[in-house]
Amino acid sequence: MSGNESSQKRTSVRIMRTEVRTTNQFYCAIAQIENCAKLRRCAEFQAQLMRSV
């Protein structure tokens, strides 16, 4: 195995790690958006309850 091959392997590992990190951020962002929507719906629901009382 030449030195060049090992550096290529290292690069692919680095790319994979970066992809995992960005994927995690992506899912985290989606979760935050969904959470925000749920909180908004919850707040609207509470407001309706207050009005109906």
Q: Confidence class of residue 33 from pLDDT cuts 50, 70 and 90?
A: confident
Whole-structure pTM over 0.75, yes or no?
no
Kindly report, residue by residue over 10-27, the tens digit of the pLDDT: 888 887 778 877 888 888
Q: Over pLDDT 90: what percentage of the chain?
A: 0
Domain that holds residue 39: 1-53
- For residue 19 the two structure tokens come to 């992809």
Q: What is the model's pLDDT at position 25?
A: 85
Tally the domains of the chain.
Answer: 1
Gap between the Cα atoms of 33 and 25, Å rounded: 12
Return the beta strands (E) in the chain as ranges: none
